[in-house]
Amino acid sequence: KSIEANISKTEKRKKENNYGVTVKGENNLMVRFAKCCNPVPGDNILGYITKGRGVSIHRKDCSNLQILIKEDPQKVVEVSWGTAKGVAYMAEIQVKSEDRPGLLSDVMNIITESKLSLNALSAKSAKGNLAYINIKVKIDTIEQLKELMRKIRKLTGVIDVYRMNN
């Protein structure tokens, strides 16, 4: 009986995996986050059952997910954010700005002050005196990302800051 009690306790604990996502009605499923839309806690999400790779978690507004839904709607499953602690999520944003000296430095200062872990950054000049900066950071919550975007929007010359959805 003690073994059975341990098994049932273990099964209850496995409903939320270490990624902080719960798949409705199922437990102990392999979950991975789609790189096309990089969902983070707070985003509206859906799961898509893949062949051999478990459930792929997408933002509901992901264009790739919309294509998958049209192809095979039966593979879509409801998922929700759990309460995992210490799990970092990758988020990618793009900054569209007037090109000016010191722009990249100003953006980097905001990232540093926000104490976020920078994973990747690329910047390029474009026609019409524009600059595009792609930033990939590790975040714990959607609020951290929204705050970073809000601060960057306040910089001189910044036209727009938005989430990337490849």
21 close to 79: Cβ distance less than 8 angstroms:
yes
pLDDT exceeds cutoff 60 at 11: no
Structure tokens given for 62: 């992901």
pLDDT exceeds cutoff 90 at 67: yes
pLDDT on residue 15: 40
Spatial distance between the Cα atoms of 37 and 65, rounded to a whole number of angstroms: 9
pLDDT on residue 40: 85
- Residue 71's Cβ-count burial label (10 Å; 0-12, 13-18, 19+) is exposed
Spatial distance between the Cα atoms of 29 and 52, rounded to a whole number of angstroms: 11
Structure tokens given for 73: 């709607």
Q: Using one digit for the tens of pLDDT, what is the confidence trace for 99-144? A: 999 999 999 999 999 999 999 999 999 999 999 999 999 988 888 9
Which residue has 């392999």 as its token pair?
30
pLDDT exceeds cutoff 70 at 161: yes
Higher pLDDT, 10 or 147: 147
Higher pLDDT, 82 or 106: 106
